[in-house]
Structures are given as C-alpha cells and as structure tokens.
Structure 1
Amino acid sequence: MAQNVYSEAEEKLKVEDWKVIFRLWKYTKPYLPILILALVLIGASTGLDLLPPLLSKMVIDDYMNNEYTLVVIHEGDSVSFIDTEEGTFSLKQTESGDYVVTDGVLQYPITQQQLQELRVEDLNGIGRLALYMVMILISLFFINYGQVFATSYMGQKITHGIRVDLFSHILRVPMRFFDTNPSGRLATRIANDTENMAEFFTSVITSIVKDVLLLGGIIIIMLNLSFRLGLITLLILPVIAAAIFLFRYFDRLAYRKVRTRLAIINAFLAEHISGMSITQLFNQERRKREEFDGVNKNYFKSLMEQLWVFAIFRPLLDLLYYITIAIVVWFGVKGIIGNVLEFGVLVAFVSYIDMFFRPLNDIAEKYDIVQNALASAEKIFKLMDEKEEIYHHEKALPSSFKGSVEFEKVTFAYDGKHNVLKDISFSVKPKEKIAFVGETGAGKTSIISILTGLYRIQSGVIRIDGKDIYDYNLQGLRKKVGVVLQDVFLFSGSILDNIRLFDNSISREKVISAAKYVYAHSFIEKLSDGYDTMILERGGTLSAGERQLIALARAVVFDTDILVLDEATANVDTETEALIQKAMERISSEKTMITIAHRLSTIRNADRIMVIHRGSLVESGNHEELLSKGGIYTDLYRLQYELGDTA
C-alpha cells in the first residue's frame, strides 16, 4: 500500500509524561516570572469565581427569608413592632395579603407601608450584594484579560523557541536522515506539532491550575455549608476518577495514531504536488487520487477512534452531573422540610455542583489537548534526539585551499551494507580539470556526496590538500568546495538573493561581477526586473540552462577553491551549453574542477577522465588515451556517437 511508504513507526512503548514535561520545562523556565504572574491572577480569579453562589445564598437566607428580631404588638386591627432581641418573626405573602409568622404560625396581617418599613434594610442589603456582584464581574474581566494575555504571550514565545530549536536541529542532522524521512513529515513536526504545543502552553497549563483550585475551593465551601450534602456530593468523585483514568489511556493511544497519520498525509501531499507534472503527463490522476483516498481514509479512521473515545467520556460526565443534582436536591428538600437546612444553602449547593462539574468537563477537554500536545512533544523530541552531524567546529580551516584531492581505498554504502563505491583510489592536482564518466548508477554522484562530507565513508581516506576531510571544520570545508548539481535548487525570492543565498554581506556589485564572469549577466538583464526578478520555489519560470548559470554564479560569488559539476549540461540547449562550457573553461583556469558527465563531448578537453563501472574505478586517462584502450570508455563514446552525440 502507498501509505506504508510514508509511514513512520507508531510508538509501542509508552513515553513517561513526566519525562516529556521535564524537557518542556527547559523552554518554560526563561518565562517563569510571566508564569508566576499568570498563576497569581488565576488564584485571584478563582477566589472571585467562588463568591457569586455565596452572595446568592446570603440574598435568599439573610434578606429574602429573613427572620426579624422584633417584638410584635397586636392591638385590635393594628400591628406594631418594637426593636428588641426578645422576639423573632418572619413574613409571608399570601393571596389575601402579607402576614406575620411567629413560631411557624400565620398570625397577623400587616399593611403595605409596614411591609416596606420592615423590608427597607433587606432591600438595602440586596442592593449592596448586587453592587458587590457587579464589582466582582468587572474585576474578573480585567483579571482574566491579564491572565489570558500573559499565558498567550508565554505560550507563543515558548512555541517560537521550540520551533526554532527544532528547525535548527534539522539543519544539522546528517544527509542520510533526509533519505528516509519525507519532507512532508518534517513539515508536520515543525508546523503542526509545534502549534499543538502553543495551545498547550497558552490555555491548558493555566486552565488546569485554575480548575484544580476551583475544585478544591468548591469542596471546602460545600462542606462548610452542609457537611452532609458535601459528603454526598463527594461520593461521586471515585467514579469520575475512574472515568478520567480510562479516558486518559485510550485517548493517548488514539492521538498518537492521529499525529502519525497526519504526517503521512503531509508527506504524500508534499511529494505528489512536487511531482504533479509527471502525474499529469503519464495520466496517473485517477490512480493517485485512489492512493490519496486510502491515505486519507486511514487518517479519518484514526480521528474517528479518537472521537469515539471522547464521545463516550463527555456524556458520561453529563450523566454523573444530573445524577448528583438529583441526589442533592432530594436530600436538600428533606433537610428544608425538617428545618435543618436553609433554602439558600440548597440553591448555593446546586450552583456549586454546576461549578463543580464545569472544571471536570474542562479538565476532560483540556486533557484531550494535553494528550495531543504530549503526543506531539514525543514526536518533536524524538526528532530532536536524532544525532547531529559532527562538524568539528573546534578545528580551524585555512583561508584557502590549493585544491588537491585524494581518494585512498574509499568504500562507501548509503545504507552501510550495499557498497556503491568499492576501494576507489585517485588523486587530483591543484587546478587540474578531471571528469568522471560511467553508466547510470555506477557511483559518480556518490563521489560528490562523500567529498563534501554529506555522507560518511565506511573505509578509506579522503584528503584535501593532504589532510583528511574529517580533520577539517566541515562547514568551513563546504564553503571552499562549490557544487553545481544537475537539478539546481532555487529558493523563492529574487535572482540576486538566490545567487548570494540571502547573505546580505555579499554586495550587489559582487553578485553582478560573478554573473558576468559565468556569462549569466546577459540573460538576467533581460528579465522583467533584472536581478530583482522574483522567482517561485525551484525557479520553475527559468530554463534548466539559466538555472545552471545561476548556480555557477553562486559558486563563484562564494569564492570556492574546488568546483564540482554534476551533469551540469545534461538538460540544456546547445546555446546555453556553449555559455556553460565557456564559463567552465574560465573557472578551471583558477580552480580545481571535477566534472560528472553524461555527454562525453563536454569533457573531451579534461586533463584526465576517470571511468567508474559498478562502483569501481576501471579506467583513467585523457580522451585520446582512453579511446586507444578500446575499453568501457570507448564503448560509451561509440554508443553516444551512434546515437548522434558527436564528439
């Protein structure tokens, strides 16, 4: 199946969450003051969130169902009150009017004026509590704004740091890594997985802290309001804990699969969008659509598995919520009837139960995000744990090379098992012009890859100026060895920036001088904006020959001492080939030049030609010497001549 090509191993072993969190702490630590500020604001917000039900309880029990410490004096049809601590009564409204209730018995009617006189303090108290409520809500607005801003800022800065470190690490891993990891998968790690981390730091950490504080505060308040109802409510906690534990396990497994299969989709898309011309030229649209449908269905199935887990958990919490409400109301009403519980306490309890389940639901949803983030973090840190290339930064590099190159019994295999180069030995003198020829797959391009240290050899020694290349600073070495590949890679940007590779320390004048040196200036000047002409990724609007000339200018502007050309004229027209040949002749007078050639006509003037056959160096000499031997070179030359490629 096509998706297997793009898949990566789904981790079977569990990575401990605390290990992942410990590694994330490295990125959080620089923003510790912001985190502390956010936690302080969360504490203040939590305290204010707990107050409204208490204020509602006070409104009901202290002002709406208030008992008055007054003595009732009843004379005829009139009722008056004396302020004293010796008597208590309450008021009750009926269809026939308002009455005084003493000892639970409806006794004396009172006038509307008397009712207003009695209720004036209640109304004032309710007004004060309403004002407090408004002040709490306004305070919550500003506190929550500060907390959200602080956590969002911290989350984005942390994510920025992770993304920069991850991309910087990818820049330093050996080239062998990219042979087995599709670019789409790496893009998923840098873009999608780090975005999951942003959500984790922005909303999850602080929200979970607030939810835990809120739950603790609610439990304490409920036990203080009514120890009996509080215990009844807490009996549901073990069931909730068991549900969360099961959800945690299955959700983590599902999210790992989701992240893996998303990477597969991205890898598939990256490859097939790049190769769209081949798909259309060979009428493969239908088959590729079917392949993508299979990849997409696998991703859909993993999303459905995750959704199935969450779809069970959320309704289960809702069910537990309504069961708890029903039980509390049942026992609360019994308490009110038995005069052991105030009505305001029951109302507050219902509000707190609603508040109690809100953080539980929020924790469930946030835990969903946590699983996503931790699964992404595992992928990110797995990528970060890939061994980096050893550059030997501590080693110095001469300011310039003389340009001698030596291979001594070099053996190389991309996979470490199947050798593509076998016991290769040769030497190149400074400013010598040599060429490698051979059939496709003989190992010519592999010589370039190991000369620049992109891949490590299994045995033998490669020397430049008599010194093992691994004894040089590899990054410095590559600055002195310029490579022009058959398929020149150009970045999105201007012609100017593609020649100097966005290095602004290289002046425009130096770029123009290099372009003139390799005969690229004339065609660049004809473009719409000259050197400032913008091109898209890979330079699709330029011809193969124009891209080759830009690559030659790039090698010249970076002042390399050894120039390697891999099939530089394989896909260019005759006119551009002539320009490239002139540029190569000019460059070869100043630099050591190594050419990988398919067209033998392009390298007949080389000082030496080396023939690679099945990974071994089988012939060496100039054009006439090799033709006189009647060996493999002669066969290659005769074959090209018969096909019309005349020398």
Structure 2
Amino acid sequence: MNEEHKSGRIFDWAILRRLYDFVRPYQGRFYLLIGIIMLAACLAPLTPLLIRYTIDNVIGMGDYQQLTVMLAIMIGVLVMQAIVQFSNTYLSGWLGQYVIRDIRVQLYRKILQLRLKFFDNTPIGRLVTRSISDVETLADVFSEGMAAIAGDILQLVLIIGVMFYTDWRLAAISLSTIPLMLFSTYVFKEKIKKSFNEVRTAVANLNSFVQEHITGMNIVQIFGSEQIEAEKFQEINNEHRQANIRSIWYYSVYYPVADIISAVAVGLVVWYGAKQIINADVTFGTVTAFVMFINLFFRPIRMLADRFNTLQMGIVSTDRILKLLDSDEFTLNNGTHAPATLRGEVEFNHVWFAYNNEDYVLRDISFRVSAGETVAFVGATGAGKSSIINLLSRFYDINKGEILVDGVDVHEYELGHLRRNIGVVLQDVFLFSDTIENNITLGDKRISHEKMVEAAKLVGVHDFIERLPGGYQYNVMERGSTLSVGQRQLISFVRAMVQDPKIIVLDEATSSVDTETEEMIQNAISTLMKGRTAIVIAHRLSTIQKANNIIVVDKGRIVEQGNHEELLQREGFYANLYRMQYKEMV
C-alpha cells in the first residue's frame, strides 16, 4: 500500500513508546502537563455544582451576604480554570515545538547520511513532506493528542459520576442521546480520516510537482510548455482543493448535528426537570446544573473525534519518520580509519556494481593508480566512467570486489576523512544560495580566508571574484544563477582544491566551459596535480594525452588501457575515438 494512504492504528503502542523517547529529555514538563490536564478535568464539574448550591441554598433562601461569598468563589474557580487552560495551552505547545525541533534535526542528520541511491529512488517533494509537514503534525499530537484525550475521558467519567450522584433520573435522561452522538461521532471520524489521508496525499503531490518544475523551469520555458504545466498544476491543485472541501463539508455537517443532539438532551432535561420541579421532587438549581453538565459532557465528545484523528495522523507521520530514521538499507556504514596523511594510491580489485539488483553497470573492473600518477577514463556515454569515481568516494557501495586507498578498504575509512581527501569536480556544478566564500568552504571552520584566497589564486579566479560586488561575500543566488557556467565550474574547482586533497577527481570538468576557461583550469591542474593522484574523466581526448594511464571503458568493462601513444598504436577503440574527434576539430 502506498504509504501516503495508510491510516494506521489509533493506539500503536510501539510507535507511542518511540515517540516518548523524544519526549524523555523534557519528561519533567511532560508530567507537569499531564497533571495540569488532570486538574482541568477535575475543575470542570465544579462550576455547575456551585451554581446549583447558589440557586438552591443561597438565592432560594434570600441570603445575599452568602451570595457575595459564592460569587467570589465562582470567580476564583473561573480564574483558576483560566490559569490552568493557559498553562495547558502554553506547555503543550512548548513541548511540541521542542520535540519536533529535535526530531527534525535528527531526521535531517539521517538524510545527510543516506546513500545517493536513496535520493535516486525518492522524490525530493516527499522528503520535504517528511521533514516539514509530517514533523509538524507531531506538534498537534502533544497539544491535541494522547494527553488531551486522557483529560477529556477523565472529564467525561467525572461528570457522569457527579451527574448520577446528584440525580440518577436526570442523569439517565441526559445521557439518553449518547448512542446517537457516539454513532454520529464514529461516522464523522471515519469520513474525516479518509479526507485527511486525501489531503495529505494531495499536499505531497503538490510539493513534488512544484519543487520539480521550479527546479526545471528553464526547460519548461525553453520548450514553451508554460501553459501545459500550468494546466497540470491546476489539475493537481484542484485535487487538493476538493480534498479540503470534503473535509470542510464533513465538519459543516457534524458540528450542527452534534449541537442538535446536545440541544435535544437539554430539552429532555428541561421537560422532565420542569415536571419534577412542579412536583417538588427536584430543585431548580439541580435542573440548571444538569443543563450545564450536558454542555460540559457533550463538548469533549465532539472534540474526541478530532483528537483521535489528530492522534492517528500523528501516529502515521511518526511511523513514516521512524522508518526513515531506522532505515539501514540506504545508510552508509562509517569506518574509523583516519590517518593523518594519505599517499593517494588507489586500487580497484574485481569490482562489480549495479544501481538496481544485478543489472551491472560495472563488470569485473580492476586497475591500480600509484600515488602522484594521473589516470584518465574514456568511453561512450553510459559506459560506466562516472560510476567508477562515485564508488571511490563511496557515494554508492559496490556489490562485489574491493576498492583500496593506500592499501586499506574504503569501507574502513571514516567517511568524512575519506571524502575530504578526495577533491571532486563534477560536470553539473551545484552552488547554494549563499556567498562565494560559503560555497567554497561549505561552512568548514578549518578553512581560513587566506587559504581560500590562495586556492582561488592557484585556479586563477581570484581577480574575477574580487571584481564581483562584495567579492567573496557576493551571493550567487540559488544554484549560482547569477554566474556563467564557466564561472560556476571554476568556483567548484576552488571548492575541491581548498581541502588540499591527496586525490583529485575531474568528471567532465572542462566539458561545459569555453576554451579560455578550459585553459585556465588546465594551467591550474598542471600546478595542483603535483604530488597528488589524479583521476580524470573527459570526452576531449586532448586534455588527457599526458596521463600516465588511459583506461577505455565500454559497457561496464575495461577494454583497453595504456598511455596515449600505446593506445594509438593498437588501432583499437581509443584510436578510433581519437580519429573521430580529430576530424571534428578539423
């Protein structure tokens, strides 16, 4: 079943216990909240009882002096109820916000640890829903969930007990409409539960659609699909509107029906009570108190349907969040090996890798790169070149074989340490909506401004950055939209170099830049590759002719390897590819 449509059980104790683990750091305030809710339930029957006593024993006796005392007592009770209500509302809200803050931080930390395979299979809009909407739902669990339900049930039990203690006949008549109220509440709960599921699904669809299409807005506009996409969005938005209207309709029907049932109960009490007053079997104060009891009794019942649905939605949201937090399928296992320095030796031994099941994209890959050497990978699109460097940085884990860095399996390395020693420059550059400095350092406090400037000068972009408004504090906006493709590529190059990595990986790093920018990068590479291991993937064979070893990959297998001259002499795959590119240049 699609997880967006799961309704879940109202009292899933396993999930509630896990949810309590998040409450544990604030358990003192949690128990205080429980006590306040219980106190509120106990105070609820006091006002009708005080009204009854005042009417029968004070007003009826004409004792105006005691009337002032009773009014003062009732005002005191009302003030106490107001204080308790304020404490309840504030404390439940405070607790909910602190808990969802902790859950959201823990959830985001988990997302940061997931393999790229998870993001390949999971829409970003759904992750946004998990991190924002689902976590926000948990706040309502504390303000209107378990504790509030327990308080409502205690209030109902106390009121029923007081009613029967006061007059069992009026109590029986007052509760005669309860079966009808319970039936209508049950029907409403089931209908609104289905409606809430539809609304949640519609919200997830909206999040996914908007995120994806805003990100790809340039494609939409390039192909003139604005009207088509607007119609698609309107259709999804209409589904969201209809789902919300259905929930509004159920509320619009339920509350008037509940009020009518409550009014019928009041009418029956007044009708029967009036006859008993005439016969002097019941006092006027008792009938008045029962009218108030009915209102106090039916209000929690009306709210219970909403509270149960809130709790149920919270259980479903918690279940989805916990499944993500507990998932080990996509979590990268972190080692402990973190040597002070790396030499930069890289070795692949009979590596097999598949993105899905056993549909292998790499088959029995073996090669070795000595420290300080440069190895280049060439081959057709989809041959598996990028997969090789993804495995080296453990963006994905292999199916079979082993990958060694300095003779140690990459799984044994502390992941952050491993990746800091592998500087990666990708073809598709991503810049955050932030300053150039923060895009280069990524918030790493260990990287000083002087070190960043030094790396920028080596790459040859320092002067360009200084000419921007604010220099290194210039905000590049989302995805670096205010910079050219070449400028973004150069900044990403500085981002890799500032870590002073022992291994440099260039994945088509010069394919999206002009000749002048490519020349700047090549000059920087010549300087920065000294003493470092370099792994280069390039379509332009002219950029890799000086590599110590060129590996030709085809359909996930190594078909040739050697230096430039050796491969040309073999008249194989590489030689054919070289002649094709030479003809294109001519």
User: Which of the five TM-score ranges fits, normalised by the shorter chain?
Assistant: over 0.9
Structure 1 residues 172 and 307, CA gap change in structure 2 (3 angstroms): same
Deviation at 1:27, TM superposition (A): 0.9
Partner in structure 2 of residue 57 of structure 1: 52
2: CA distance, partners of 1:413 / 1:484? 23
SS state of the match for residue 377, structure 2?
strand
2: CA distance, partners of 1:292 / 1:284? 12
- Asked if the contact 1:255–1:375 (Cα under 8 Å) also holds between the matched residues in 2, the reply is no
Q: Does 1:444 align with 2:389?
A: no
Q: Does 1:31 align with 2:14?
A: no
Deviations 1:142-181 (A, max 9, x none): 3322232222211111111111111111111222111011
Q: Does 1:258 align with 2:253?
A: no
Partner in structure 2 of residue 430 of structure 1: 371
2: CA distance, partners of 1:417 / 1:311? 54
2: CA distance, partners of 1:616 / 1:394? 29
Q: Which has the larger radius of gyration?
A: 1
Deviation at 1:191, TM superposition (A): 0.8
SS state of the match for residue 612, structure 1?
strand
Structure 1 residues 8 and 501, CA gap change in structure 2 (3 angstroms): farther
Which sits farther off after the overlay, 232-241 or 413-422?
A: 232-241
Deviation at 1:346, TM superposition (A): 0.7
Structure 1 residues 17 and 311, CA gap change in structure 2 (3 angstroms): farther
Structure 1 residues 307 and 418, CA gap change in structure 2 (3 angstroms): farther
Q: Does 1:343 align with 2:281?
A: no
Q: Does 1:484 align with 2:425?
A: yes
SS state of the match for residue 535, structure 1?
coil
Which sits farther off after the overlay, 369-378 or 575-584?
A: 369-378
Partner in structure 2 of residue 41 of structure 1: 36
- Asked if the contact 1:610–1:620 (Cα under 8 Å) also holds between the matched residues in 2, the reply is yes
- Asked if the contact 2:206–2:237 (Cα under 8 Å) also holds between the matched residues in 1, the reply is yes
Structure 1 residues 391 and 287, CA gap change in structure 2 (3 angstroms): closer
Partner in structure 2 of residue 272 of structure 1: 213
Q: Does 1:527 align with 2:468?
A: yes
1: CA distance, partners of 2:204 / 2:496? 35
Partner in structure 2 of residue 454 of structure 1: 395
1: CA distance, partners of 2:411 / 2:210? 37
Partner in structure 1 of residue 414 of structure 2: 473
Partner in structure 1 of residue 310 of structure 2: 369
Structure 1 residues 630 and 298, CA gap change in structure 2 (3 angstroms): farther
2:172 paired residue among 212, 231, 244: 231
- Asked if the contact 1:408–1:426 (Cα under 8 Å) also holds between the matched residues in 2, the reply is yes
Going by fraction, where is helix more abundant, 1 or 2? 2
1: CA distance, partners of 2:554 / 2:334? 36
1: CA distance, partners of 2:50 / 2:331? 67
Structure 1 residues 47 and 9, CA gap change in structure 2 (3 angstroms): closer
- What is the correspondence of 1:620-635 to structure 2 with a 5 Å cutoff? 620-635=561-576
RMSD, aligned CA:
2.3
Deviation at 1:8, TM superposition (A): 5.3
1: CA distance, partners of 2:2 / 2:343? 45
Letter of the structure 2 residue corresponding to residue 278 of structure 1:
I
Partner in structure 1 of residue 111 of structure 2: 170
2: CA distance, partners of 1:591 / 1:223? 87
Partner in structure 1 of residue 496 of structure 2: 555
Q: Does 1:636 align with 2:544?
A: no
- Asked if the contact 2:144–2:310 (Cα under 8 Å) also holds between the matched residues in 1, the reply is no
- What is the correspondence of 1:240-639 to structure 2 with a 5 Å cutoff? 240-307=181-248, 309-387=250-328, 391-393=332-334, 395-639=336-580
Letter of the structure 1 residue corresponding to residue 303 of structure 2:
D
Structure 1 residues 400 and 287, CA gap change in structure 2 (3 angstroms): same
Deviation at 1:502, TM superposition (A): 0.5
How does the TM-score come out when normalised to structure 1?
0.85
Partner in structure 2 of residue 91 of structure 1: none
Deviation at 1:369, TM superposition (A): 2.1
Structure 1 residues 471 and 191, CA gap change in structure 2 (3 angstroms): same
- What is the correspondence of 1:196-207 to structure 2 with a 5 Å cutoff? 196-207=137-148
Deviation at 1:400, TM superposition (A): 2.0
Letter of the structure 2 residue corresponding to residue 167 of structure 1:
Y
- Asked if the contact 2:126–2:204 (Cα under 8 Å) also holds between the matched residues in 1, the reply is yes
2: CA distance, partners of 1:26 / 1:434? 51
Letter of the structure 1 residue corresponding to residue 271 of structure 2:
W
2:16 paired residue among 12, 21, 45: 21
Deviations 1:603-647 (A, max 9, x none): 222222222122221122222332333322233223333333x6x
Deviation at 1:577, TM superposition (A): 1.0
Which ranges in structure 1 are unaligned for 5 or more consecutive residues? 1-6, 67-118
Deviation at 1:565, TM superposition (A): 0.8
- Asked if the contact 2:273–2:282 (Cα under 8 Å) also holds between the matched residues in 1, the reply is yes
Structure 1 residues 465 and 394, CA gap change in structure 2 (3 angstroms): closer
Deviation at 1:556, TM superposition (A): 2.0
Which sits farther off after the overlay, 41-50 or 411-420?
A: 41-50
Identical-residue share of aligned pairs (%)? 40
2: CA distance, partners of 1:415 / 1:150? 48
Structure 1 residues 391 and 383, CA gap change in structure 2 (3 angstroms): closer
1: CA distance, partners of 2:145 / 2:4? 25
Deviation at 1:239, TM superposition (A): 4.0
Structure 1 residues 386 and 256, CA gap change in structure 2 (3 angstroms): farther
1: CA distance, partners of 2:333 / 2:218? 42
Structure 1 residues 8 and 543, CA gap change in structure 2 (3 angstroms): farther
Deviations 1:195-222 (A, max 9, x none): 1111221343443233223222221221
Deviation at 1:326, TM superposition (A): 2.1
1: CA distance, partners of 2:397 / 2:18? 31
Deviation at 1:449, TM superposition (A): 1.1
- Asked if the contact 1:156–1:198 (Cα under 8 Å) also holds between the matched residues in 2, the reply is yes
Letter of the structure 2 residue corresponding to residue 325 of structure 1:
V
Letter of the structure 1 residue corresponding to residue 470 of structure 2:
D
Aligned residue-pair number: 585
Q: Does 1:183 align with 2:178?
A: no
How does the TM-score come out when normalised to structure 2?
0.94
2: CA distance, partners of 1:442 / 1:262? 39
Deviations 1:570-591 (A, max 9, x none): 1112221111111111121121
- What is the correspondence of 1:117-128 to structure 2 with a 5 Å cutoff? 119=62, 122-128=63-69
Deviations 1:32-59 (A, max 9, x none): 2112222333333333332222222223
SS state of the match for residue 643, structure 1?
helix
Deviation at 1:478, TM superposition (A): 1.5
Deviation at 1:232, TM superposition (A): 2.4
2: CA distance, partners of 1:474 / 1:194? 28
Q: Does 1:151 align with 2:146?
A: no
Structure 1 residues 155 and 10, CA gap change in structure 2 (3 angstroms): closer
